[in-house]
Amino acid sequence: MKLRAKFKKDGDLRYISHLDLMRTIERAMRRAQIKFSLSKGFNPHPLISFGPALSMGAATHGDYFDVVIEGKIEPERFKRDLNKTLPNGLEIIDCYIVDDKDLLSDKVKEAEYTVDVYLMSYVIDLPDEIKRFLGRDEILIEKESKSGIKIIDLKNYILDFKMIEAKGSKITLYVKLKISEGSPGPTYVVKALDDFLGHVFDMEKILIDRRNLILN
């Protein structure tokens, strides 16, 4: 049977990579004595698949992984048992059975983020500036990809972008993005805004939280 688990990752676990995360969950399942299926071949590995990788330093409150289980286990039990063996900073928040043919990679279409940034100089009306930023015909940026640097238009990806809170110099932004092969993350959006505003943010102190992956 195949389970889909929704999880959060924050605190110091923001500093572990996608590969580290995969190993951490695999080992936690072994500690919980959850019997997952193994691949065939020379180096058997668990049949687990994750959604799009989070960048180093980012938190999430709504990512998913799929895992194929030997035999049967109640999703509630899976969640309860695994939460006992996961390290602080990782938690399963939901779990349900999906069809064996259901692939996580086909389901992930959009993601919502909050981004905390710090202002280095005063901006009179940031919400209005964001509207001006989005009002342009195109927002071209350079994005690194496997095949080198490519020019892409952020407008093809941004579904929503606004300021949701300002506390002193700390600004919290909300970004909703389309997810597809090679799509840009929220850092590109914030950096493009920063360029547009003439460098007002401390880009070294940017804190990303993927609030939710939206599945269709």
With H, G, I as helix, E, B as strand and everything else as coil, classify residue 86. Answer: coil
Residue in 3, 5, 13, 92 binding other proteins, rule: CB under 8 A: 13
Of 139, 133, 179, 177, the residue nearest 159 (C-alpha): 177
With CB under 8 A as the contact rule, which of the stretches 23-31, 127-135, 139-147, 159-167 interacts with other proteins?
23-31
Residue in 3, 7, 9, 28 binding other proteins, rule: CB under 8 A: 28
170 lines the binding site for other proteins (CB under 8 A):
no
**How many beta carbons lie within 10 A of that of residue 175, not counting itself?**
25
Of 34, 45, 43, the residue nearest 1 (C-alpha): 34
57 lines the binding site for other proteins (CB under 8 A):
yes
With CB under 8 A as the contact rule, which of the stretches 87-95, 138-146, 158-166, 183-191 interacts with other proteins?
87-95
Residue in 10, 89, 163, 179 binding other proteins, rule: CB under 8 A: 89
Residue found by looking up tokens 């990782």 in the block: 90
With CB under 8 A as the contact rule, which of the stretches 1-9, 29-37, 138-146, 169-177 interacts with other proteins?
29-37
* 3-state helix, strand and coil shares in percent for the chain, rounded to the nearest 5: 25, 40, 35
Q: Burial of 157 by CB count in 10 Å (0-12 exposed, 13-18 middle, 19+ buried)?
A: buried
The residues that touch other proteins, with contacts defined as CB under 8 A, are: 11-13, 15-17, 19-20, 23-24, 26-31, 33, 35, 38, 42-46, 56-57, 85, 87-89, 204-205
